Amino acid sequence: MSSQKTATGLDQNLVGALAYLLGVVSGIVLLLIEPDNRYVRFHAFQSTFTFLAVLVLFLVLMGLGVIGWILWIPCFLGVTALWAFLMFKALSGVQYKLPLIGEWAEQQVR
């Protein structure tokens, strides 16, 4: 995908990666300020959907007591790795789609 400018004036690959930086917050902010760039909007939707699901998962884990706290550690490490992977892919110009969530994000951009 050729890199284009965005409403922010920044390179779309950089802005796509920034969509993941603060999870839901950066995803929503970019959805509000980037009306046209489909690449950025895809990553903003995917970030928002992904990290809302992660938030729900962590809330459920916290409600499970000790078992939840034990499971929280590997989940946190996995989410951190996913976060870095998604930022890397977006910065590289790849519109990587997560299973299910990526499809939802793509439908929102259409």
**Which tens digit of pLDDT belongs to each residue from 41-62?**
999 999 999 999 999 999 999 9
The residue ranges of every structural domain in the chain are 12-109
59 CB-contact burial (10 Å; exposed 0-12 / middle 13-18 / buried 19+): exposed
Q: In this structure, which amino acid lies at residue 57?
A: L
CA gap 110, 88 in Å, rounded? 24
**What's the pLDDT score for residue 2?**
55
Give the tens place of pLDDT for each residue, 17-42: 999 999 999 999 999 999 999 999 99
List the Cα angle 14/36/50 in 5-degree steps: 60
**What's the pLDDT score for residue 58?**
94
**What's the pLDDT score for residue 80?**
97
CA gap 89, 95 in Å, rounded? 7
Q: In this structure, which amino acid lies at residue 90?
A: A
> pTM here?
0.91
Contact 71, 47 (CB under 8 A): no
**What's the pLDDT score for residue 3?**
66
